[in-house]
Structure 1
């Protein structure tokens, strides 16, 4: 029996959350095309026979951290590199940035094996072009192993899983059989609502909002949930609500439908939007919203 903790690290928007969801086979971490969607360390367990891999999805490490929220996300990502059995360093095939280099530099000197996962290989129509790319990346450091994948197409995931299992220690499971996530349903609600907001709002507004669940009551066959969307300015509140409440209704409907699929029963979801000025640069607010960078 093998059991271990594996951190998924990389720059923002490289596909870490998509890879986690693809490996586990269900949605554990929200995803969008916008960078910095993941704000927390999110754990998900892959059960494979008696073996178990506990993955830790992290916020993307980024170079510019002007606000307290960005610094907290960097802290959360860096903290997930300690006391683990393996780190998956995820990069994007055909693209290397200063932020990739910053993550690689952060991994230097860590007393933990690091594997290179080259994601988005589906963008290479000619796979022969991929080989020199892999050779170039392999020369940057001594990796435990290198696996090219496409999280979107679920390509080459079984070989990746087998390599991970070969590099984690023997030991008892860390999660009970059948348990996949460590977070509670209220966290799931907040993240699903935030994902729908990200997908329905444009420009920089998604980075200035967060979601807090105020009420979660579970009756037989029905969840009654009330959640607050926090923004930083009155103008942002008007955008979130939309003309005649159109935007917030659309977000609430999409979130409710997804939550019903996830929970397997009816959900009554009420959303509000409130202003807390500059919450993303307020340590007390970040602690209240569970975004302080601490476990």
Structure 2
């Protein structure tokens, strides 16, 4: 007998999260690297955020954007931390509809926000290299705050109708989700009503955020490369490129897993289910884990600030 649930029973409606299909007996062991990655992501991004806030020498546009990236990565990690480790450690698989929608909103919202922050950082590098004399007048503190607010408003605006239309769906299939968190496509596939509107809004949200940001970042770097190649001194060219390495790495570790995951979902349907699940979790964890490491290794100012903070803490102890 099919189970039909509509908005009138939304309070009692619950989904069941999945760990890694086919590897349930090994989930406790699999949770160890996941827990380690979460710990690295939370501690690394917290440290970056702390040093940017505390060190006056880092109160510059580039580091303000880096702080925004750290806040986004922290939030993205926290979105899935409780349900993922809850499934792995305690078998806590049940999540009600409202909690699922809230997690979906923040999960996709912060993913899109990361894309927006990466675009803002590309704009920062573009102005710094292509128009250095006007850098401080273009990227004022007020302008940086405006960019942050615009990125936030854009993501709330595109995500609100996406999650709102989930509430109108009725569910009559198995309520078992394929992930250890609520993923929009995963949820609407369980609906027994017409979900075309949900799919349209989902695609609109995707193309109006990452689909817009990625080409803009690409164009900005084409202009940056053209500007750098016009610099006569090879030493100055090298210095200009070095200021972009960290950002290019952050862009790569965000978009490459995103594109790979999309290709696997579309063309890798014959792959075992656990491959899709692991790739989805890796996509959500790689940027928050690697971004603070990349910026700590590649940016001397961040290195010095972290060492200074650690020495101060050691002296206080």
Higher relative contact order (CA 8 A, sep 6+): 2
TM-score w.r.t. length of structure 2: 0.22
Larger Rg: 2
Q: Which structure: greater strand fraction?
A: 1
Q: Which structure: greater helix fraction?
A: 2
